[in-house]
Amino acid sequence: MTCVTIYLDNAATTKISDLSLYEYVRVQRDYFGNPNGVHQISQAAKTILEDKREFFAKAVGADVRGTIFTASGTEACNLAIKGGKGDLAVAIVSSVEHHCVLEPIKTYPTRRAVRSNSDGTLDLNDLEKVLKETGDTVDLFALMAVNNETGVIQPFEEAYRLVRHHAKRAKILVDAVQAAPWLDLENLYSFADMMVISAHKFHGPKGLGVLFSRHPSDLVPIISGGGQEYEKRSGTQDVAAIAASAVALEDMQSSRVQNLSKVKTLKTVFMDSLEQEDVEFVVNGNGEYSIDAIVNICFPGVRNEELIFLADQEGVAISAGAACASGAMQPSHVLLGMGLTKSQATSSIRISFGTDNTPEECIEAAQCLSTIASKLRTKRVE
């Protein structure tokens, strides 16, 4: 098997940065104590833990006591949704959310899904219609800031105003997992009661999620035990992962302007190269209102499963969308929610660029994918 040389699946996970990895090893080695103990070794780890909690809180404009560390973005979303459930009956969610939101939302007695427009953005007219029908019975409204499959930036500001106008008691949850490397987190949090990020999306280690909550006293733990994290999430904290994640986020935030410029160049080079090839393709989603780090492309008449497999054999790593435990290739609910047919959805792939990629890689990947897609389509026609 050819070793993967071009990694274009950064929306699934990013490679841990050298700075983050160094910090992880340093803290794991020098501050290995349980931060919940009373002796000096434990208290040294506790100091690191709380220092990094303050960093994360300040990074988004949150309160320290409302900054809760979890083992993943998925757990953080579950804590926000299940642990934040109030005494009202209705949860409203966009139809193109990640499964880490769609699944726990099922614990609500009444769930209303808001349609997506064909460009992947939330249908604000449908949201207003649903809000008028549900009003003060709405307990939760959940919306991802950036879609993980299309890169589309959702109209969270407009949605915020509608929810606040029609459902004043509703809590607003923003899934900022894909947005964290690219958008202003403090601005995002200003439109939320709760927000979630995950470190491995911005070159930190896997296994660290953060939930920011404006009303942490309203949260009920979904994991019981020793009462860590202000009694909101039990379990010994991974201080090294937290410290390494803080370094990674600080690095991404300090170089965000340069990084945005770089991925824009990468996307432009990739798309220009693809357009020069003799292959039919369609971009799924609003290309104007999206982050440049993600592009979703449909190659009509080509099965994405075959395309991904053959690209991998040539050393190009891509995906069809969100990774799941089974690895099964199912039609994307995001693309189906945008109105694509099952055939179009199963002919679509996701390309996600990262700061480690180069323009030369993007040219090579575009040529590789177009060659494979053309051969597969010809084969199907024959």
3-class secondary-structure state, position 381: helix
Please report how the helices 239-254 and 18-30 are oriented relative to each other, as an axis angle in degrees rounded to 10: 150
What is the rounded distance in angstroms from the CA atom of residue 103 to the CA atom of residue 216? 22
What is the rounded distance in angstroms from the CA atom of residue 345 to the CA atom of residue 303? 9
Q: How far is CA 255 from the centre of its chain?
A: 19
| Alpha helices by DSSP H, 61-98 | 73-82
Q: In terms of Cα–Cα distance, which of 137, 33, 25, 56 is closest to 91?
A: 137
1 CB burial (10 A radius; 0-12, 13-18, 19+): exposed
What is the rounded distance in angstroms from the CA atom of residue 289 to the CA atom of residue 158? 14
**Known catalytic residue: 368?**
no
320 CB burial (10 A radius; 0-12, 13-18, 19+): buried
Catalytic annotation, pick one of 77, 100, 324, 362 = 324
Cα dist. 153→13, 85, 121, 183 in Å? Answer: 19, 26, 7, 10
- Beta strands at 138-144 and 194-198: parallel, antiparallel or unpaired: unpaired
Residues with catalytic annotation? 324
